[in-house]
Structure 1
Amino acid sequence: MGVHQFSSDPLHRISEYQTAAVNAQIQVHAILAAAGLSAENADELMCAIEAGAVAGAQCQVVEWDGSAPSERGEAYGEGWYDGVTTVCNQLVRAADFLYQQRGGAASTLKLIAYQAQRQATQQAAAEERAEEGSEASEELIGQTLAVCEEHYAAVTGTCSAQWDKELSRELVGVALRTVRLAEREAYPQRLEEYLRGNHERLKQLWRRYGPDGLYPRGVYHLVELPESFVLCERIDNAPLWLQGVWEEEGHEETPLERLKKSWLYGTGDKDGR
């Protein structure tokens, strides 16, 4: 640990010393507690050190007595003496006060325990956030894709021979990264209910934006894939998360953006939803 460079401004420097002292006290109390020293004995040691530091300052001030510039006259010398005496007395009182303080060790240990608990909680939360957004299991991808394929076939009249299975699994995996860990096990059933409830809307999506719809084939090419159904559910329930994962995976933004607009704005009430 290197030597800290303190401020050149006296007032600021004193503040820095105070902060450094508090941090040092916390560390020393933690070390003493780890060594098995009781809070009472730790208080005794710390109070003696603090009082001794002030006593050391008082000894330096005592040495100023008699050092008043003689050319300033007798009155000035008497004022100097009175000033040194006053400062010395105040420092003695401060040393007495610091030595009599008790309870610092117990309070500091409570603070250390609180900080440790808080840090552990923050670490656990960070780990949980890191796990959220992780890749889904192959089993869950397969279950989710099966639900999509069943409803997609019912809506479009197409069959699995026309679908790119490898791409489908990849995009379903992207969508599942936006499903929270606690919800993943039940997600296929939840998706099943969602697709059943939006059956007519999905049919309208296919009629308008599918290969035989209003736009040239390939413009809305995600609509031509069964995994578009799970993407629609995610667009409704986790749009920003989906967009973030989609970009993170390196997929082109335009296809997802087109699917999002067609799903949200092209299958509304005015269009017979």
Structure 2
Amino acid sequence: MNPAGEGLQQLDAISVLNAKTTLVQLLVRAGVHPGDAGELIGLVEAGTLAVAHTRIGGHGGVAPTEKGELYASGWLDGARAVADELGAVAERALRDAVGADASADALDARPPAGRMELERAKVAVLPLYLSFTAVSDLDPEVSEQVLTAVLGTLTTRQRTGYAGQLTRFADDHRVRLERMYAEYGPGSTIAIHGRYSLLHSPTSIAVLERLLTEPTALREEWDAAELPPAWLEGLTTAWGTPA
């Protein structure tokens, strides 16, 4: 019980909608397209549900034993049922957020990258890049073209979790990335223009992750965007693996 003598406080559906509508309107006033604002809010909702699903699933594996085996068995069955339903709700919320249809493969397709997907990718790569090196002066338009090619290798589902995927990649390879940017990035003796140009762009982390994970798909998107093949070769050389 809380100090006011009330039970657990929960928002009703109308109050939740009011908060969402208020946030959308504030974002629109700041210049964000209503559809983009709704997509971002929807992704936050879907992510919150996914986190709750993971937590409930984790706790569901340990049942209380003091009330007997039959009780514990029923407790586990109930926990699994709740977790399964919450997972389904999270999946539906994700589909709604990205505008995917109800088909089973909608989230696993690779449509052209949308404006908000591109913006989210920009927000994801910059702090990771700055954790290794300094801001450089590579043309922002070129960076957008590079990120569009990168996102073209990802499904809609993968794009929604791409920030986390990039962060894990950076954490797993931190020492090697530090060495690479020190030798080839801003502040090094390597010129910004040339085969190592990508090392002067925040997009380089995204390109490298895709180059190591989906090299064929990346090269296809790269060629379709008519980006310089030498940039991929330079990044591969800087990383220290055969091209």
State the TM-score, normalized to the length of structure 2. Answer: 0.50
Q: Which has the higher helix share?
A: 1
